[in-house]
Amino acid sequence: MSLSGKFVLRVGEKLHRKLKSSAEHQGISLNEFCKKKLNHSFESQSLKFLSELNFKPLGLLKYGSVVRDEQTDSSDEDWLLVVPENIEIDRELYHDLDKIKLPGQNISMNLSHLPKKGDGISNFWLELALEAEILWELGSRIRNQLFQIRREIASGRYVRKLVHGQPYWIAAERSGIEKPTTR
């Protein structure tokens, strides 16, 4: 079944006034406000599975076609569980994760550690810095890391290229492109 993405929600006058007032207070449309509230509510329910893990993750991100609003009816939702350094990412960890009921039918869960300083930044994390949404995080390490990666991109240290429509990144010094100088 294909959905249009549009429907009418009937609410009482009092709730309508509250919603409209809250939207105006935030400087957004009533529709945008309701979408944000519904998404937040869904995502809060979605995070309950985190309590079933045998470790405390650093965070959970959503990325890919759903975040870019390019999904199709057959698209899955790409999620990334950021794992602490002391937890080894191996088949056993993925197997344990498979036993946990995830909040949606089409969630593709991936696991990663945060990039280590001095190791360079992988293509995966460079793309995440541009498009990922943080659904939940413990502290602010992920947010800070994504900010630092975006700063590296903005400085010209990494250059994004495409091959057959697929993005990849190279360090600027390997690309033959001079990094911009700051004055």
Which two tokens mark 108? 């593709």
From 110, 46, 43, 49, select the one nearest 83 (Cα to Cα): 110
Percent of the chain with pLDDT strictly greater than 70: 87
Amino acid identity for residue 13 in this structure? E
**Please, what is the Cα angle at 113 between 112 and 115, to 5 degrees?**
115
- 53 pLDDT band, cuts 50/70/90, is confident
- 43 pLDDT band, cuts 50/70/90, is low
- 40 pLDDT band, cuts 50/70/90, is low
What distance in Å separates the CA atoms of residue 153 and residue 147, rounded to the nearest whole number?
10
User: What domains, with CATH codes, occur in the chain?
Assistant: 54-157 (3.30.460)
**8 Å CB contact between 78 and 110:** yes
